[in-house]
Structures are given as C-alpha cells and as structure tokens.
C-alpha cells in the first residue's frame, strides 16, 4: 500500500494535495504534518513512499526541510510553494542537485501539475538526484584480501557525479563485483569540463594572505553495476555533512555557465 507524507500548514492545500494522491493511487494512505519537526519525525517513523513539503512552514522553510529529510530519508521529496523570486533563488541555491525538489509545484495546487510529478518520481521512480557529466581524475581502493595483503586500487575518471553516486571509467583492470565496498578518492580542486582554474580557499591573517588547494575527498561507496568495457556505477554510503556540502559546492561550480 502506498504511503505519502504531506507537510503543509494550510488546510485547503492539504485537502487538495490529499485528494490528488487518493484519486491517482487506489488505497493511498496520507499522513499529515503541519510543521517541519513533525515531518521529520513522521518520515522516520512511517517511512513513506513520497514526501510532499510546503516551502512556508511555521518552523522551517522548504529547502532547509528537504535537506534535513535527506539525512534520514532516501525516497522522493516534492516541494510546493507560491511563485516568488525568493523561492526561485532558494531552489537555485540549495536544491539544484535534487531532480525532485527542484521541480517544485506552484500553488495554488493544480491536479495536473502535481499528478505529473507523482508520475515521474513515485510511479516511474525516476532518479531523485541530478547527475552532472564531467571528466575528473579519481582513484578507487578496494578492501585487501587479508591481513598483510595490499589493497587493490585503480585510477581513472569520474564521468558523471551526483550526491548519491558516480559513474567511473577505470584505467586498469580491477576485479570487482556488485555490492563490493570500496573507497573513492577525488580532488574537488579542479573542473576539467569547463577548464576552470583550481578552486582555492583563501585564508586571511593579520600578517598576510595565503592560499591552499581544497583537500581531496574520500567517500565510502558500494558497486551498483559494472559493464564489460570497464565502466562502474558507484552508490555512495552515507555522506558526512562536510562531504555533502563539498560535493554540492563542486557541482554548482561545475554546472555554472
């Protein structure tokens, strides 16, 4: 049975959203939250198939709630909002890497608009994370076969990247299998696609100003799929807050004109 969580403090919007889901999906159960805190608690307890959250809740704004939910919930998250420049800027700044929430639904809610997003992200189960094509150097390191054994590793390129995983092309043959655990190491200091200069962090002191390159990032991942020509799909394990922020900043730089 399909279960949906709707977080909205406005009763007419709640009623309309609920009716859309019930009309589209036979037997759909709708769970109601009227604050962001309730939404987080219910998402953790009820494990819904989709969350629909409003931009303007009493205790939190929509993008902040989406990002908080992402830490505990892996399903699709849609967002509703009245059209406004503030909403558009917030989505561009914070949700650009999320296919689902960045395709926000305009209020007042119309059946066809919400229905179309339900088709895409709930029924068809399209990716919730946006993938960005690129070519950046990386290295993967697998677990050693035993104590004293050298950990097998290979260099290569990341050919596309998202908050949830990456597609990589290996330089050398490396024995892998699905669900194998490994570590992906990459530098977020350069972007090859746009030929941008190395990103630097400027540190100001009273005596002088110095610069240093952004550090390498090491991400735990599992193998999701493998092709015969050496391409490997990786699914990231849970990212730390700093890793997620680093990837988001990097993807934003990579996707900028």
Does residue 160 have a pLDDT over 70?
yes
Proportion of the chain above pLDDT 90, given as a percent: 67
* Cβ contacts of 39-45, under 8 Å, gap ≥ 24: 39/5, 39/7, 39/65, 39/69, 40/65, 40/68, 40/69, 40/72, 42/5, 43/5, 43/69, 43/72, 43/73, 44/72, 44/73
Residue 112 domain boundaries: 3-123
Identify the weakest region by mean pLDDT among 103-107, 110-114, 157-161, 230-234.
230-234
Are residues 224 and 144 both part of a single domain? yes
Report pLDDT digits (tens) over 167-206: 999 988 778 889 999 999 988 764 444 333 333 333 333 3
Closest by CA position to 63, among listed 42, 107, 93, 33: 93
Q: How far, in Å, CA of 120 to CA of 246, rounded?
A: 28
Report pLDDT digits (tens) over 127-136: 999 999 999 9
Are residues 230 and 180 both part of a single domain? yes
257 pLDDT tier (thresholds 50, 70, 90): low
Are residues 118 and 162 both part of a single domain? no
Are residues 136 and 172 both part of a single domain? yes
Are residues 76 and 114 both part of a single domain? yes
Indicate the DSSP class of residue 122.
I
Are residues 144 and 93 both part of a single domain? no
Are residues 249 and 144 both part of a single domain? yes
Answer whether 184's CB lies under 8 Å from 161's CB. no
- Give the CATH number, domain containing residue 237: 2.40.10.220
Last residue of a domain, one of 64, 98, 123: 123
- Arithmetic mean of pLDDT, 221-250: 89
Domain count, the chain: 2
pLDDT of residue 200: 33
Global pTM value: 0.80
Are residues 187 and 118 both part of a single domain? no
Q: Give the mean pLDDT of the chain.
A: 87
Answer whether 97's CB lies under 8 Å from 162's CB. yes
Proportion of the chain above pLDDT 70, given as a percent: 88
Helices (H), the chain: 11-24, 36-46, 62-70, 85-94, 99-102, 111-118, 241-255
72 burial (CB, 10 Å; 0-12 / 13-18 / 19+) is: exposed
Last residue of a domain, one of 123, 142, 161: 123
Are residues 103 and 156 both part of a single domain? no
- Give the CATH number, domain containing residue 23: 3.40.50.2300
pLDDT of residue 207: 37
Last residue of a domain, one of 87, 104, 123: 123
pLDDT of residue 123: 95
DSSP output for 161-229? E-SSEEEEEESS-----TT-EEEEEEE-S-BTTTTBPPPEEEEE-SS-EEEEEPPEEEEEEEEEEE-TT
pLDDT of residue 201: 32
Does residue 31 have a pLDDT over 50?
yes
Q: How far, in Å, CA of 71 to CA of 21, rounded?
A: 25
Are residues 92 and 155 both part of a single domain? no
Does residue 11 have a pLDDT over 50?
yes
pLDDT of residue 211: 36
Consecutive H or E run containing 105: strand 105-106
Q: Provide the token pair at 105.
A: 């639904």
Does residue 77 have a pLDDT over 70?
yes
Answer whether 107's CB lies under 8 Å from 90's CB. no
Closest by CA position to 110, among listed 80, 76, 66: 80
pLDDT of residue 253: 83
Does residue 146 have a pLDDT over 80?
no
Are residues 152 and 237 both part of a single domain? yes
Are residues 111 and 168 both part of a single domain? no
Answer whether 13's CB lies under 8 Å from 39's CB. no
């Amino acid at each position: 049975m399909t279960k949906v969580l709707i977080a909205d403090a406005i009763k007419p919007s709640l009623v309309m959203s609920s009716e859309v889901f019930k009309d589209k999906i036979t037997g759909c159960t709708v769970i109601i939250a009227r604050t962001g805190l309730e939404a987080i608690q219910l998402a953790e307890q009820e494990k819904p198939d989709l969350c629909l959250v409003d931009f303007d809740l009493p205790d939190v704004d929509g993008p902040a709630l989406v990002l908080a939910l992402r830490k505990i919930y892996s399903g699709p998250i849609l967002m509703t909002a009245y059209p406004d420049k503030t909403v558009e800027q917030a989505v561009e700044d914070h949700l650009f890497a999320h296919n689902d929430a960045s395709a926000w639904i305009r209020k007042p809610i119309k059946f066809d608009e919400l229905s179309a997003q339900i088709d895409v992200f709930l029924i068809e189960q399209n990716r919730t994370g946006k993938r960005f094509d690129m070519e950046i150097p990386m290295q993967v390191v697998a677990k050693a076969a035993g104590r004293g054994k050298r950990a097998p590793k290979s260099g290569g390129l990341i050919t596309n990247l998202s908050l949830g995983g990456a597609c990589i092309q290996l330089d050398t043959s490396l024995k892998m299998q699905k669900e194998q655990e490994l570590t992906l190491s990459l530098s977020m200091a350069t972007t090859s696609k746009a030929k941008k200069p190395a990103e630097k962090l400027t540190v100001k002191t009273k005596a002088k100003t110095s610069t240093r390159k952004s550090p390498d990032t090491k991400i735990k991942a599992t193998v999701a799929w493998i092709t015969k020509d050496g391409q490997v799909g990786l699914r990231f394990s849970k990212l730390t807050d700093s890793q997620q922020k680093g990837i988001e900043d990097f993807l934003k730089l990579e996707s900028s004109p």
